[in-house]
Amino acid sequence: MDQAQLHSDRDRNYLALLLLCLSALLAFRLVALKLAKIDLLLDEAQYWTWGYELAFGYYSKPPLVAWVIRAATELCGDGEVCIRAVSPVLHTVTAILIFATARVLYGPALAFWSAIVFATMPGVSFSSFIVNTDVPLLVFWALALLAWVMLLERKTTLWAVVLGVALGFGLLAKYAMVYFLLCVVCHAVLSRDARRMATSWRSALAVLIALALIAPNFYWNYQTGFVTFFHTAVNAGWKFPYVHLGGTIGYLVGQAGVFGPIFFGVLFWGAWQAAHKPDDKRQTLLLSFSVPVLALITMQALLSRAHANWSAGAYPAAAIFVTVFLSEHRWRLFRISLWLNLGAGLVIGLAPAFAPRLAPFESNQALSRALGWRELAAVVRTKLDENQYGSILLPTRELASELLYYMRASRPPLFVWRTGTWPAYHYEMTRPFTASSPEPVLFVSLRECPRDVRAAFDSVTDLGTVDVPIGAQTKRTVHFCRLEGFRKPDAEKSWQEPPMRMAQP
C-alpha cells in the first residue's frame, strides 16, 4: 500500500469514526429532547411565531432562525421536540465542518478530536436543548472558517464563493457574523498570506456575495425604520459608568462554563505560548479567529454587559487550537477535560426530564420560565369558555409568545398593549391593540390589571385570579379582567403601520 492510499484510508477511518460518535451523541440528545418536561422558552416560542411570517427581518433578529424553524415544523410538526431538534442536528453539521477545517490544517486524527471537543462543549450541550440564533450562526461561521482556510491553501474562486455564501447566511442568522470580518482583519495584520488574500479580488467577490444575500434584510429594516439595528444598539447598553468589573468577571466565568474550565484556561495558556513563537502560521490563524471575538465581548462586558453566548463564534477555531496545543503538551489534561465536558453534557441532557421535580431550583428564574406555560394556556382556555370574547389582550412579550404557541390550536385574535410611541418588541409592532380589535376583551396578566389599561375602557370587570403550578412547590398567579368600550385613539401611535402582518398560526 502506497503512502497516498494509507492517508486516504486514515481519512476515511477517522471520518467514519467521527460520524459514528456524532450520530450516537445526536441520538442521545434527540431522545433527551423527547423526554424533556420543559416548555418552550420565551425566545423559542417567539421564533416559532416568526416562522409563520417568513419575512426578511424581524424586530430584534435577522430572519434565518425563523426560516429554519418553519422548515422543521413543515417536516415534523409544531411540537417542542421538532422545533428544538433543529439545534442538535445543526450542531452536528458544525462539528463536521470543524473536522474538515482541522483536517486541512493538521490531519485526520487531530481533526477528529477537534470536532469531538466542539460537540461536547458544555455550551453546545446546553444549546442542543434550546433553539436560538447562535445555532445557525455557528454552522455558517464554521463554513466560513473552512472556506477561508481553503482560500489560503488553494486560492480558487469556488472557495471565495463559498466564503461569501457563508458570510451572507451567517449575517442572516445573527449580525454577530460581522465579527468574522474583524477576525480576517486581525489575521491579515499578523500574516502576509492572509493580507494578500484579504486585499485580493476573491475576497472582494466574497464580500459582494455576502452583501447581496443580506440586502433583503437591509431593505426590510429600511421599511421599518431600521428597527433591528436600533434594537441591537440599545441591547449593547453602553451607559455611565463605563466600567463593570463584576459583569466582566461574570462573563469570563460564563465562558469557562461554555467551553469547559480546563479548555478555556488552556486557550489563554496556549495563546500566551503562541505569542512567543509567531512563526506558526496555523496557530496564528486559529487564534485570529477566536481571541479577537473573546476580547471584543470582554470589552463589551466591561463597558456594559454581555451574555455568555455572545462570543459563540470564537469556539470553532478555539476547539481546534486547544486540541492541537494539548496534543503537543498535556494529552492527559486533554482527556480529563474531555471527560469533564462529557459528564456535564450528560447532566445537561438528562436534567430537563426531571425539571418539574427539581424543587430546590424552582426559584431559579431560568428554570421557572421553562415551566407552567402549557398549564397557563389551559387556564386561559377555561376562562374563554365561560363567556364570549372577541380578543385576548396581553401586557408582555413573554405572555404573548407563550400563549401564541400554546393556544395555537384554537383561540380568538391575540393583541398586546402598546407601551410607548415606539414599539418595544416585535408584537407591539405587528399586533398592537387598536380601536378595530374585536371586543369584549379578555385581559390576561401576571399582575393586576394596570391603571392605563383600565383608563382606556368604559367597562372593566375583574374576573379574579388563578394559580398555575410551576413544578412541585411554586406557582404563577394569573389575573383576568373583562374589558369593553375602548376609547384610546389610534392617532396616538407615531410609527407607521408595519409593512407586514403576523399571519395567524
Say yes or no: 273 and 420 in one domain.
Answer: no
3-state secondary structure of 35: helix
Enter the DSSP assignment of 432: B
Say yes or no: 285 and 314 in one domain.
Answer: yes
Expressed as residue numbers, the domain containing 253 is 3-355
Residue 283: predicted pLDDT:
93
Residue 279: predicted pLDDT:
77
- Following DSSP, what letter does each residue of 53-70 receive, concatenated? T--S--SSS-SHHHHHHH
Closest to 270 (Cα-Cα) out of 320, 234, 227, 236: 320
Say yes or no: 324 and 382 in one domain.
Answer: no
- Nearest-angstrom CA–CA distance, 172 and 65: 8
Q: Is 127 part of any domain? A: yes
Give the residue from 355, 387, 406 where a domain finishes.
355
Say yes or no: 398 and 287 in one domain.
Answer: no
Q: Is 414 part of any domain? A: yes
Q: Is 232 part of any domain? A: yes
Give the residue from 297, 325, 355 where a domain finishes.
355
Task: Indicate if the alpha-carbon torsion angle 279, 285, 286, 287 is positive or negative.
Answer: positive
What nine digits make up the cell of 288? 485570529
Say yes or no: 72 and 21 in one domain.
Answer: yes
Q: Is 364 part of any domain? A: no
Q: Is 422 part of any domain? A: yes
Q: Structural domain tally of the chain? A: 2
**Model confidence pLDDT, tens digit, residues 14-66:** 999 999 999 999 999 999 999 998 899 999 999 999 998 889 989 889 999 99
- Nearest-angstrom CA–CA distance, 294 and 310: 9
**pTM (2 d.p.):** 0.91
Answer left, alpha or beta for residue 471, where phi above 0 means left and psi between -120 and 50 means alpha: left
Give the residue from 306, 327, 355 where a domain finishes.
355
Q: Is 315 part of any domain? A: yes
Say yes or no: 337 and 388 in one domain.
Answer: no
Say yes or no: 294 and 405 in one domain.
Answer: no
Contact 274, 284 (CB under 8 A): yes
Say yes or no: 377 and 350 in one domain.
Answer: no
Say yes or no: 67 and 129 in one domain.
Answer: yes
Say yes or no: 298 and 406 in one domain.
Answer: no
Say yes or no: 141 and 36 in one domain.
Answer: yes
Q: If the chain, 505 residues long, is cut into consecutive pieces of 10 residues, what is the mean pLDDT of each piece?
A: 49 89 97 92 93 88 95 93 96 98 94 96 95 96 98 94 98 96 95 94 97 95 81 63 75 91 93 82 94 92 83 96 90 92 93 74 63 91 91 93 89 86 83 90 92 89 90 84 81 42 38
Q: Is 396 part of any domain? A: yes
- Nearest-angstrom CA–CA distance, 391 and 483: 10
Burial class, 284, CB count within 10 angstroms (exposed 0-12 / middle 13-18 / buried 19+): buried
Q: Is 25 part of any domain? A: yes
Say yes or no: 320 and 390 in one domain.
Answer: no
